[in-house]
Structure formats: structure tokens, C-alpha cells
């Protein structure tokens, strides 16, 4: 995962970056499968790998000369940012490794989709009906916004 | 007796100045003239009333003149040292009120005719009122600082009035010269004031001049008189410095260079300021501080005064012999007569008849103001008619200007010391006082009296007799507005000598009687008549005796004509030494170092801001970077330093 | 939980993914590349939620829900971002970051 991620971030050609990201996403889906969250893995594959990557590829094709090489930032900037990221990563890792996580022994129970669905639509404690509705409104707003932005200047009323 | 109404005397001209000054462009000539004259007439009437009340009604208690002081605290330096503003009524200040009022009123009336048609008429009257206010304030001052403030104000008025014709470069230069020279002298004055204030703890005249305190060796003043500085006591040095200030204002050698150039101003200005009132401010200052001058260290400062005065009067009389410009002759004559007054103060004693020098000096101040103003106004009348200042352009004017002729003659006789005119009495008292005290100065002044008579009658004969010049425009007598003051002043010059001055003015404030010393009177009248006779021979009819005499004197004549090259010497000192060696390095320092530092601060601020504005680059990625690094740093701080 | 894999190792991976995403976000000069980096960051966060849920609180499902919502929001946001980029491309025929630097000093 990490190798593909680094490759995605440092590649000089756009399409290759997108493809590397696809590989990362697939790896993440595989990881979800390992954890036994099948539903989540499926969502990941459908929405992310299927939808978003396709969206990226379409936009890349619309905008770019694919064969041209991308510019990269100056070397000094790259080193500086790399250093900062390494420092941050080191800091976070040191904190994580110093913390004693109490891993709960579980009974290897796999989660059912039924449970996920019930939980998402339940009213009582632990129910997620409100975020569910909010998300749907958000998606609606996103759709409308995308349409308006994509339409461009012809939205003004003609006299 | 309440003399608080005297505060109105200076305030009325101040109000007139403000009214005329602020509305200078809107007020017409007639209105300005009437307003100015009316204001000053009110002040004059108040002054005369004050004099009448003081000298004849309420001034004396047991034969000693009382000093009335009304003052208010103006500013505190420390708990005990403070500056007051107020009025001080005592014999010499009342006398000066009368002098200043009379002369100023005459000049106001005269100016209505002389400056008629001039564009800056209103401005002129505004300045005249400003000057009157300043002079009144100076005369009525209760302490050293108040007199200094009004001293500077008088200097400013003089500057404005000398430079009245501001489009003429020579007038502008003359006004600058006057102001700078007097300012330089005032620097000494200020040092003297500060020293006295510091060592005696007071500026007030009443405390400083207290005769019992001055004769008592344990009083604060005399205690400090013992502290020596370069061989003289501190108080003596301070008094000499104060005298330097007075010498600058009164045009004593070597600070006299501004007075001849000040004649660039209009003639009424010369009459008012540079003959009768401002230039006697120095004499008034010494008279005001006379007890201090006399008692401190046996009167060493007073000797300085006497010798400076004597020397100045001699040198001025010699220079006046050769000048061509009639106003310059009168200017040097003024310097010479003020030298008389200073010398008379310098040799004066204190009690009873010994105070004759003081009385004579004040008397001469009074009479001199009258006839010198008359001389100047008469000269103005002549200049107005002939349109030239130079003696050579004039002659035979007695046929055209009779009133000016007679009044000028009366004034000339007065200044020459011919009885029964006023000058005889005052000059005789001065010479009598000198004879008793200091024989050297007596003989010097006797010679000067003769020279005075000579050059004055050279002037008179040269203008009104001498050659019969043919004029391009026939000169006519001046209008009534100009001749009326001439006549009034002539009457006073004639009869003022009979006033028994010593009853009113004396250093210890007790009146005494004087009488005429016949032998001294005979000597002074004799030398005066001799001077007149020589002038008669040389100048009454057109002849070349004068030219032969002047060429016989050769280079001495040249030197005197050039005023002993003192002006050139001053120019050399200032240009070569002060400007080049002292002022230029300072200017360089100011430009390069001081300005450079300021510029450096400004430029470095600009440079720093240019570097910092790169933070607002508009690039989102930079902002994200700052965001992330900030978070990392804060987390590090929390984890590692806050536990 | 996955046998043999401790929570620390997984958290290490997600941390690395996160910081790689940040590096890419700050370093890249192409707007679409920046978006790719943002996707990386969001994914790392989603994995974090799931892992902690599975290893420390296996009885609850909160982590799963959060991840679902994160995926949904990320999708919406990416769609809108692409449309804005395309609009920008219409105005200035470039998708470089340099073109968006107008709000500076």
C-alpha cells in the first residue's frame, strides 16, 4: 500500500498517478476484507475504486495532454516538505507506539449486513438515522452544485 | 491705591493689533488710521492719568515713592521659583509710560499722513499697535522673565517694522540683521536671568532690588555675591550678561551694527522705535536693576556700563560727522545719546544728591525721546518732500517748508544743549554728575557734546540752508497730519527742561532738589556754541571748505565714513569662521548622520515588510504547509514540554 | 481482528499513508494531483476508524458507520472539485496551481 501511495504521489505522469491510486484503493478494500467488514469493502470498491477513479480518469482525459510530463516542485521545497512530513510521522508514531492499546479478545464474530442496516436506520441509542438523512441532502446539494458549476455562464436569464 | 486699571494700557493696543491684523485686507485706510489712533489715544490718556495720580496724588508716603505691584502667578519652575505677570508702578515706569504713549501717539498721527496711499497701511498700523503693546508690557514688567518676554516681543515688532517694505532686499537684510544681533545679545540676557534666578531664588524686581537686602551681607543675594567665577562674583557676571542684552537692544559698541541699517524702515518707525522707545529699553533695564548694579561687589558691573556707554557715544559721534544719509546721521546720533544715558547711569551714586547720574540719565531719556522723535519726523517730512535720503540732494528747503524748518531747528538746538531748550538741562545734569565722579568720562562727554552740536547743525544747514538746489518737483510743506505732531513735540522740547525731574525720579525713591552748576553749564554751552559756529562757517553757505577739510584728513575720513569697517569685520567673522568652520560640519552631521539614521530606519522597515509580505503568497499549498507544521509543533510542545 | 497482525502495525501504515498524502498535497503542482493526495488522506482516516473499531471495541459498529459516511462525503467532494477544476480550465486554459494564486499581497 505504502509503496503504491508513494508512487502515486511522486509520479511524473498524471494517468500513472491515478492508476497507482486505484491500486492503493484496491489494497484498502482487500484490507477491509481481511478484517471481515465485507460490506465496507464492497462499498469501498464500488464507490471509490469504481466511481471516483472513473471520474478522475474522465477529467484527466478532458483536460490534459496525457503524454506530457508534469512539473514537480523545486528540490528545496520537496526536501523541506519531506522533512516536515517525516517529523510529523515520527511524532505520531512515537505517540502511538508509546500508548498501551488494550486489544479486546473477540469471539471472531463476523458482522452481518443486517446489523449494519438496522443500526443505520434505527431511532434509538446508537442509531444513525440523522446522519443518514443529512448525507442524502449533502449528496443532493453536491449534485445541484456540480450541475450549476458545469453549466457555466448560460445560467443567466435572458431578457 | 488701586492701580489695576493700568493693565488696560498695554491691552488696548493689543486688541487694536488683533483687530487690524486679522482683518488687514478688509479694513480700509481711513478706518485703520482712526482705529489705531483711537486705541493709542485711550492708552495715552490712561498713562497721563496714571502719572498724574502717581506723582501728584498718591504716590508718595512720607516723601518716599511707593512701588505698587499687581501680579498673578503664571508658571512655576519649582516650589519657590516662579514667573509672574503683572504691572509694577514706580517712578521710572510711570515716566516711561508717559514717554512711550506720547511718542507713539505722535507717530500714529504722523503715519496717517506719511503712509497715506501705501498698500500695507493697515498692516503698518497693526504692527505699530503690536509694538506699543510690547513696549508697555516691557515698561510695566514686574520681574526679569516678564521683561524678557516683552523684550523679545519688542524685537519681533522691530523686525516686522524694519522689514515693512518686504520687497526691498536691503530692507529684508536689515531686519534680519537687527533681529539676529539683538537675539544674540538676548542670549547673554537669558543667561544672566537664569543665573540670577538660580542663585538668588527669585526673579521678582521687588525682592531683588530691596536695598536693605542688598546692603545686608547675609541676605541670599549678597551671600551668592561671594561665590566667585573667574575672579568675579556670580551675581556680577550675571549683571554684566544682563547688560550685554541691554547693550544689544540699545546699540552699544560692539553690538551697534544693526541700528544704521534699521533705517531701511519707514521714517515713523525710525522715530518710534529706533530713537525714542525701543533703543532706550536697555537703559531702562539697567535703571530698573540699578540697586543691584550699585550694591553688588561695590558696583563693578556699573563701571562696565559707564565705560561701554562712554566709548559708544564717542565712536558714534565721530562716525556721524561724515555720513551722507540724513537718517544714518540721526541713527548714530541716537547711539551717541544713548551712550550718554548709559554712562550717566554708570557713574551714578545712590542716595540723595549722589543719585544725580541716575536722575540725569532718566531725564535725558525723556527729553531725548522728544527731540529725537521730532528730528526723525522732521527728516521724514523732508524725505517725503524731496524723495531722497541723501544730504547732497537737499538744500535751501527753508523757503519751501517753514514749519519743518522751525521745528527741526528747535530740536537741533535742544540736542546741542543750548538753553533754554530741554537738552541743555538734561545734558548739564549728566555732565555735572560725571564731573563729580569720573573726570576721564567727563572730558570724553564734553568732546562728544561739541561733536554733537557740529554734526547736528551740519545736517540742519545742509538741508535747510546751504546750496539752493533746483528740485524736479517743487517740494511743498507736509499736510497737517504730519506737521501737527512736529509742532507738539517742538513745544515739549522747548519747555520740558523746566520740569523739576529730581523731585520725581531718584534711585532711592526719595525726591531731592538740584541746581545748575554754573561752571559746568558754561563749559557745555560753550562747546555747543563752538560746534554750531564751525558748522555755520562750513555749511551755511555753499562752499568747498567741507571738501578741503575732509580731504585733509585723508584716510581718517575714509575710515570714519566706512563706520570703521566694523560691518566688514563682522561679515568676515561670520562667513569665514562661523559658517565655514563651525556651521558646515554641523550641517554635514545633520544631513548625513541624523537624517541618515532616520532614513535607515524607514528603509529597513520597508525592506522587512517586503520580506514578510511573502507570507501572503496566495498559494494554498503554502498555507497548508504552514497549517501542518503548526499542528506538528503544537503537538510536540504539548507532549514534551507541558508534562 | 487479523491473526498475527497487531494494531500497532496497522496504525503505522495508516499514519504513513496520511503523511504521504500531506506531502503530495503540498508538493504537487497540478490541481488533479492535489485531489489525488486528498483522497489518500481521507482513505487513511477511514482505515483508522475501522481498525480501532475492530481491535478495541468489537461489539460496536460506530467505526463502520463513520467510514461509510467518510466515503460518501469524499465522493461528493471529489465530484464537485472536478467540476470546479473543469470550470477553471474553461477560463484559463491551465490546471496548474500557478493560475490560482491571485489572492496575494
pLDDT single digits (tens) B323-362: 888 888 899 999 999 998 999 988 887 776 777 888 889 8
Query: Per residue in B515-539, pLDDT tens?
Result: 777 888 888 888 888 888 888 888 8
C96 by DSSP, 3-state: which? strand
Residue with the bigger pLDDT between B69 and B637: it is B637
Measured between CA atoms, how close is B641 to chain C, in angstroms?
Answer: 23
Interface contact flag, C102 B628, Cβ < 8 Å: no
Measured between CA atoms, how close is C2 to chain B, in angstroms?
Answer: 31
Which H or E run contains B412? helix B402-416
pLDDT of residue B230: 62
The least confident of A124-138, B146-160, B548-562 is: B548-562
pLDDT of residue A107: 59
- The pLDDT confidence band at residue B63, using thresholds 50, 70 and 90, is low
Interface contact flag, B635 A91, Cβ < 8 Å: yes
Cell 485686507, located at residue? B25
- The pLDDT confidence band at residue C21, using thresholds 50, 70 and 90, is very high
CA distances from B314 to B286, B311, B319, B373 (A): 20, 5, 9, 21
For B382-389, which contacts have Cβ atoms below 8 Å and span 24 or more sequence positions? B382/B326, B382/B408, B382/B463, B383/B267, B383/B326, B383/B327, B384/B114, B384/B267, B384/B478, B384/B482, B385/B475, B385/B476, B385/B477, B385/B478, B386/B471, B386/B475, B387/B473, B389/B325, B389/B326, B389/B327
| A42 closest CA partner among A124, A147, A116, A131 | A116
Contact status, residue B305 vs residue B366, Cβ threshold 8 Å:
no
Phi/psi for B331 (5° steps) reads: -65, -45
Cell 484498502, located at residue? A28
pLDDT of residue B429: 86
Asked casually if ipTM beats, i.e. exceeds, 0.95, the reply is: no
Q: Mean pLDDT across chain B, nearest whole number? A: 84
Interchain contact C7–A (C-beta under 8 A): yes
The least confident of B242-246, B350-354, B579-583, C39-43 is: B350-354
Q: Is residue B113's pLDDT more than 80? A: yes
pLDDT of residue A44: 92
pTM: 0.69
What residue ranges of chain A have pLDDT lower than 70?
64-68, 71, 105-110, 126, 152-159
Kindly write down the DSSP assignment for every residue of B59-118, as one continuous string: SEETTEE--EEEEEEEEESSSS-EEEEEEEE-HHHHHHHHHHHHHHHHHHHHHHHHTTT-
pLDDT of residue A67: 63
pLDDT of residue B14: 92
pLDDT, mean of residues B480-508:
83
Contact status, residue B323 vs residue B561, Cβ threshold 8 Å:
yes
Contact status, residue B487 vs residue B404, Cβ threshold 8 Å:
no
Radius of gyration of chain A (CA): 22
Give the max Cα distance, chain A: 71
Residue with the bigger pLDDT between B213 and B21: it is B21
Which H or E run contains B368? helix B356-386
Mutation target among B629, B631, B637, B642 for the A interface, most CBs of A within 10 A? B629
Whole-number Å distance between alpha carbons of B109 and B618: 79
Q: Which residues of A touch B626 (CB under 8 A)?
A: none
Residue with the bigger pLDDT between B635 and A118: it is B635
pLDDT of residue B571: 79
Instruction: List the end-to-end C-alpha distance of chain B, in Å, as a whole number.
Output: 87
pLDDT of residue A46: 92
pLDDT of residue C105: 64
pLDDT of residue C22: 92
Query: Per residue in B217-272, pLDDT tens?
Result: 666 666 665 666 666 677 888 888 999 888 888 888 888 888 888 888 888 888 88
Pick from B614, B617, B624: which is nearest to C101 by CB?
B617
Measured between CA atoms, how close is B605 to chain A, in angstroms?
Answer: 28
Measured between CA atoms, how close is A121 to chain B, in angstroms?
Answer: 37
Mutation target among B609, B621, B626, B632 for the C interface, most CBs of C within 10 A? B621
Q: What is the 3-state secondary structure (H, E, C) of B494-511?
A: HHHHHCCHHHCCCCCCEC
Phi/psi for A125 (5° steps) reads: -65, 140
Whole-number Å distance between alpha carbons of B401 and B478: 8
Q: Which residues of A touch C80 (CB under 8 A)?
A: 142, 145-146, 149
Q: For C27, which residue in chain B has the nearest alpha carbon?
A: B621
Pick from A5, A39, A40: which is nearest to C17 by CB?
A5
pLDDT of residue B104: 92
Amino acid at each position: 500500500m505504502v509503496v503504491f501511495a508513494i508512487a502515486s504521489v511522486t509520479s511524473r505522469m498524471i494517468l500513472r498517478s491515478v492508476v497507482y491510486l486505484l491500486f492503493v484503493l484496491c489494497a484498502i478494500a482487500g484490507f477491509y476484507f481481511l478484517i471481515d467488514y465485507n460490506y465496507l469493502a464492497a462499498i469501498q470498491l464500488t464507490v471509490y475504486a469504481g466511481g471516483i477513479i472513473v471520474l478522475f480518469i474522465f477529467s484527466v482525459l478532458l483536460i490534459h495532454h496525457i503524454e506530457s510530463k508534469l512539473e514537480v516542485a523545486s528540490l528545496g521545497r520537496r526536501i523541506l516538505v519531506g522533512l516536515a512530513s517525516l517529523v510529523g510521522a515520527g511524532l505520531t508514531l512515537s505517540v502511538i507506539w508509546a500508548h498501551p492499546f488494550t486489544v479486546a479478545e473477540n469471539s471472531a464474530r463476523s458482522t452481518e449486513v443486517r446489523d449494519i442496516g438496522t443500526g443505520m436506520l434505527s431511532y434509538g441509542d446508537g442509531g444513525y438515522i440523522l446522519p443518514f438523512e443529512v448525507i442524502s441532502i449533502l449528496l443532493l446539494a453536491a449534485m445541484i452544485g456540480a450541475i450549476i458549476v458545469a453549466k457555466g455562464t448560460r445560467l443567466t436569464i435572458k431578457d | 491705591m488701586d492701580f489695576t486699571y493700568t493693565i488696560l494700557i498695554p491691552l488696548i493696543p493689543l486688541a487694536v493689533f488683533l483687530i487690524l491684523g486679522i482683518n488687514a485686507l478688509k479694513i480700509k485706510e481711513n478706518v485703520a488710521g482712526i482705529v489705531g489712533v483711537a486705541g493709542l489715544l485711550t492708552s495715552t490718556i490712561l498713562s497721563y492719568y496714571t502719572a498724574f495720580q502717581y506723582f501728584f496724588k498718591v504716590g508718595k508716603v512720607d516723601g518716599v515713592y511707593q512701588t505698587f505691584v499687581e501680579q498673578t502667578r503664571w508658571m512655576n519652575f519649582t516650589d519657590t521659583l516662579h514667573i509672574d505677570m503683572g504691572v509694577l508702578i514706580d517712578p521710572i515706569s510711570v515716566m516711561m509710560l508717559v514717554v512711550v504713549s506720547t511718542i507713539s501717539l505722535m507717530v500714529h498721527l504722523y503715519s496717517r499722513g506719511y503712509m497715506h496711499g501705501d498698500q500695507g497701511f493697515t498692516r503698518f498700523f497693526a504692527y505699530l499697535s503690536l509694538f506699543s503693546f510690547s513696549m508697555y508690557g516691557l515698561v510695566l514688567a514686574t520681574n526679569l522673565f516678564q521683561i524678557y518676554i516683552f523684550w523679545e516681543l519688542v524685537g519681533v515688532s522691530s523686525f516686522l517694522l524694519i522689514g515693512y517694505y518686504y520687497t526691498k532686499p536691503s530692507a529684508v537684510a536689515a531686519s534680519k540683521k537687527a533681529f539676529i544681533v539683538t537675539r544674540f545679545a538676548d542670549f547673554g540676557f537669558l543667561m544672566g536671568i537664569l543665573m540670577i534666578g538660580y542663585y538668588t531664588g527669585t526673579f521678582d524686581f521687588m525682592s531683588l532690588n530691596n536695598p536693605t537686602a542688598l546692603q545686608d551681607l547675609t541676605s541670599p543675594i549678597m551671600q551668592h555675591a561671594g561665590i566667585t567665577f573667574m575672579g568675579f562674583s556670580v551675581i556680577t557676571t550675571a549683571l554684566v550678561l544682563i547688560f550685554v542684552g541691554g547693550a544689544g537692544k540699545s546699540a552699544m559698541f560692539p553690538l551697534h551694527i544693526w541700528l544704521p541699517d534699521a533705517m531701511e524702515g519707514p521714517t515713523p518707525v525710525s522715530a518710534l522705535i529706533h530713537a525714542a522707545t525701543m533703543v532706550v529699553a536697555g537703559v531702562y533695564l539697567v535703571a530698573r536693576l540699578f540697586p543691584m548694579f550699585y550694591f553688588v561687589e561695590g558696583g563693578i558691573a556699573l563701571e562696565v556700563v559707564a565705560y561701554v556707554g562712554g566709548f559708544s557715544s564717542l565712536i558714534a559721534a565721530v562716525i556721524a560727522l561724515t555720513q551722507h544719509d540724513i537718517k544714518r546721521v540721526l541713527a548714530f546720533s541716537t547711539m551717541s545719546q544713548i551712550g550718554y544715558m548709559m554712562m550717566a547711569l554708570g557713574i551714578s551714586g545712590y542716595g540723595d544728591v549722589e543719585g544725580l547720574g541716575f536722575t540725569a540719565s532718566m531725564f535725558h531719556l525723556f527729553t531725548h525721546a522728544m527731540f529725537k522723535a521730532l528730528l526723525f519726523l522732521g527728516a521724514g517730512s523732508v524725505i517725503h518732500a524731496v524723495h531722497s535720503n541723501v544730504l547732497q540732494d537737499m538744500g535751501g528747503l527753508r523757503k519751501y517748508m517753514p514749519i519743518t524748518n522751525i521745528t527741526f531747528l528747535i530740536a537741533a538746538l535742544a540736542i546741542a544743549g543750548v538753553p533754554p531748550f530741554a537738552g541743555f538741562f538734561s545734558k548739564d545734569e549728566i555732565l555735572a554728575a560725571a564731573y563729580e565722579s569720573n573726570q576721564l568720562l567727563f572730558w570724553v562727554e564734553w568732546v562728544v557734546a561739541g561733536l554733537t552740536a557740529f554734526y547736528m547743525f551740519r545736517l540742519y544747514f545742509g538741508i535747510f540752508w546751504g546750496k539752493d538746489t533746483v528740485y524736479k518737483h517743487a517740494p511743498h510743506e507736509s499736510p497737517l497730519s504730519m506737521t501737527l505732531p512736529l509742532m507738539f513735540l517742538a513745544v515739549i522740547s522747548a519747555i520740558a527742561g523746566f520740569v523739576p525731574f529730581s523731585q520725581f525720579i531718584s534711585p532711592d525713591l526719595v525726591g531731592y532738589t538740584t541746581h545748575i552748576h554754573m561752571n559746568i553749564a558754561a563749559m557745555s554751552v560753550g562747546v555747543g556754541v563752538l560746534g554750531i559756529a564751525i558748522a555755520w562757517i562750513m555749511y551755511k553757505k555753499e562752499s568747498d571748505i567741507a571738501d578741503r577739510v575732509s580731504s585733509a584728513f585723508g584716510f581718517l575720513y575714509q575710515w570714519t565714513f566706512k563706520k570703521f569697517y566694523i560691518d566688514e569685520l563682522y561679515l568676515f567673522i561670520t562667513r569665514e569662521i562661523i559658517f565655514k568652520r563651525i556651521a558646515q560640519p554641523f550641517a554635514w552631521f545633520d544631513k548625513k548622520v541624523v537624517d541618515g539614521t532616520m532614513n535607515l530606519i524607514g528603509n529597513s522597515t520597508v525592506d522587512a515588510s517586503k520580506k514578510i509580505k511573502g507570507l501572503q503568497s496566495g498559494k494554498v499549498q503554502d498555507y497548508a504547509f504552514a497549517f501542518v507544521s503548526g499542528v506538528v509543533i503544537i503537538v510536540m510542545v504539548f507532549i514534551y514540554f507541558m508534562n | 481482528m487479523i491473526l498475527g497482525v497487531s494494531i500497532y502495525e496497522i496504525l503505522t501504515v495508516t499514519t504513513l499513508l496520511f503523511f504521504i498524502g500531506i506531502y503530495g498535497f503540498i508538493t504537487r503542482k497540478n490541481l488533479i494531483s492535489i485531489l489525488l493526495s486528498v483522497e489518500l488522506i481521507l482513505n487513511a482516516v477511514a482505515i483508522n476508524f475501522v481498525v480501532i473499531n475492530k481491535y478495541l471495541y468489537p461489539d460496536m459498529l460506530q467505526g463502520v458507520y463513520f467510514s461509510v459516511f467518510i466515503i460518501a462525503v469524499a465522493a461528493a467532494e471529489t465530484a464537485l472539485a472536478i467540476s470546479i477544476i473543469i470550470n477553471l480550465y474553461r477560463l484559463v486554459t491551465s490546471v496548474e496551481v500557478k493560475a490560482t494564486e491571485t489572492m496575494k499581497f
